[in-house]
Amino acid sequence: MEYQHDIEINGEDKYLNICKHNGLCKKEKDSKDDTDSNKLSHIEKAYTTILGELGEDVDREGLLRTPLRAAKAMQFFTKGYKETTQDIMNDAIFDENHDEMVIVKDIDLFSLCEHHLVPFFGKAHIAYLPNKKVVGLSKLARIVEIYSRRLQVQERLTKQIASAISEALEPAGVAVVIEATHMCMVMRGVQKINASTVTSVMLGTFQDNPITRKEFLDLTIRK
Amino acid sequence: MEHSKQTQFGSSDKKDAGTSSVVNGHCDGMVKRPAGGPSQPPAAESGSQRPVMESWREDRTRSVEDNEMRLPSLAAAYTTILRGLGEDPQRQGLLKTPWRAATAMQFFTKGYQEKIIDVLNDAIFDEDHDEMVIVKDIDMFSMCEHHLVPIFGRVHIGYLPNKRVLGLSKLARIVEIYSRRLQVQERLTKQIAVAITEALQPTGVGVVIEATHMCMVMRGVQKMNSKTVTSTMLGVFREDPKTRDEFLTLIRS
């Protein structure tokens, strides 16, 4: 797996002990006094500006607290930056003598397109072949949450999920498939309502062995 | 626009008295009602005291030139947001994001640039038809005015013409004008119904919207499968249960 290109992208992954933020870590150290509430009020002011520039009346009743709500909503949509795989995985890895495929499918996923700041959402299907270590099933969904609650590109999201599972469990193989609808394509631009984007990452046995891959695909996306 | 509601069909609108309401950014400096409550609904065809075509005269709050002028400050606001969220606006994927996001947001609120009168004027025809006309499953995309997060769903519109019919795509265009704004689903439903009423003076209008609110799905209560349904029934759709029933049955099928 190639992580070099992940540097500069999507924040520091403490699990790997690699700082993936070129500029920001230093900036974060420099602005330690920029507390969370400070950041929230900056975002809130930015939203007030946006509402005004869009031609709306910022003082009308329905919009009075919108900047604050929108700022909090945006912080919720990007809460994945503050979470690390290590925090959630550490306790839930168990030794188990099981080497058959484990699949968790139809995990609802919501993320933000980093190019337009517009949501994309869909389902993630994850499978792995344990190698003496299994993980609590909800942790797979939590990994999806950590990486999806960020400004993302679907390709990178898929890869990050696969990498995280791979590093945590060292399984014989990992497969991740994401099918998602991008509002940036549906609500604007080409405006194709039924288009859906599918990305997949196959690692280990899933990559080497076509039969394993077929079994996974049959059990997940071929209904 | 709230107050311009309903003319011949009687109004249950609360924002009635006197002051111009500022809704959706529109300060409608139109004919103000005399303070002291709603006036009696005038007869449908005869000269009503109130101007009927009020939404036709609503002013745009912005223009295409406005958009270009305001884009830099919108982009700057988005850059601030990116920084505030802890991201690095200089990384490759985010370099042009403030501009793209600003343009996207302007597109999502392009309803403020458009006027009903522009899209409807040419497409009203005299036709001796008085049976129900329904256009259903109109895809609708809007923005929640409370969280600035998308709302999407379908709109079903039915009306009973009174000698005048409307080009069918114009119903979808009316939906576009009102949905591409910062909205509340209840208000959106009503605005669409009122616009059709004012344009055609039909015997009745029914509008049903079923939508999914991302603010409920992606955050907050996080209920994936929830849908919100709102409806506005005017005229004979409101008064006659059989008509309403026919409309609701036909949009389900």
| Catalytic residue numbers of B, as ranges | 144-147, 185, 213, 215
Contact B202, B160 (CB under 8 A): yes
Between A189 and A8, whose confidence is greater? Answer: A189
Q: Which of B14, B184, B218, B221 to mutate to test the interface with A (most CBs of A within 10 A)?
A: B218
What are B157-184's pLDDT values in tens digits? 999 999 999 999 999 999 999 999 999 9
Report percent pLDDT > 90 for chain A.
74
Residue of A56, A115, A155, A170 with catalytic role: A115
A181 touches chain B (CB under 8 A): no
A14 touches chain B (CB under 8 A): no
* Structure tokens that stand for B52 in this block: 């009927």
CA-based nearest residue in chain B for residue A47: B77
Q: Is A50 helix (H, G, I), strand (E, B) or coil?
A: helix
Give catalytic status of residue A113 as yes or no.
yes
Residues A73-84, mean pLDDT to the nearest whole number: 94
Residue B35 pLDDT > 70: no
Which pLDDT value is given to residue A17?
39
Residues B7-13, mean pLDDT to the nearest whole number: 39
B203 touches chain A (CB under 8 A): no
Select from B73, B85, B104 the Cβ nearest to the Cβ of A49. Answer: B73
Cβ neighbours of residue A214 under 8 Å, at least 6 residues apart? Answer: none
- Of the candidates A105, A99, A102, A171, the residue with the CA atom closest to the CA atom of residue A136: A102
| DSSP H or E run through A105 | strand A102-113
Which pLDDT value is given to residue B24?
55
What are A149-200's pLDDT values in tens digits? 999 999 999 999 999 999 999 999 999 999 999 999 999 999 999 999 999 9
Which pLDDT value is given to residue A87?
86
β-bridge mates for residue A176, sequence order: A126, A201
Instruction: Specify the amino acid at residue A87.
Output: D
Q: Which of B23, B88, B152, B222 to mutate to test the interface with A (most CBs of A within 10 A)?
A: B88
What are B55-72's pLDDT values in tens digits? 555 667 788 888 889 999
What are the helix (H) ranges across A91-136? none
- Of the candidates B2, B11, B1, B14, the residue with the CA atom closest to the CA atom of residue B39: B11
How many Å apart are CA B160 and CA B134, to the nearest integer? 9
B150 touches chain A (CB under 8 A): yes
Q: Which of A5, A50, A64 to mutate to test the interface with B (most CBs of B within 10 A)?
A: A50
A57 touches chain B (CB under 8 A): yes
The minimum CA-CA distance between B252 and chain A, rounded to whole Å, is 21
What are A30-72's pLDDT values in tens digits? 454 468 888 999 999 999 999 999 999 999 999 999 999 999 9
Which pLDDT value is given to residue B248?
96
Instruction: Please identify among residues 114-133 of chain B the ones whose CB lies closer than 8 Å to any CB of chain A.
Output: none
Select from B25, B77, B224 the Cβ nearest to the Cβ of A46. Answer: B77
Between B232 and B28, whose confidence is greater? Answer: B232
CA-based nearest residue in chain B for residue A42: B84
Residues B90-109, mean pLDDT to the nearest whole number: 95
Which pLDDT value is given to residue B56?
52
Residues B35-64, mean pLDDT to the nearest whole number: 50
The minimum CA-CA distance between A17 and chain B, rounded to whole Å, is 19
The ipTM value here is: 0.81
Contact A39, A68 (CB under 8 A): no
Select from A75, A153, A188 the Cβ nearest to the Cβ of B85. Answer: A75
- Specify the range with the lowest mean pLDDT, choosing from A131-135, B69-73, B103-107, B118-122: B118-122
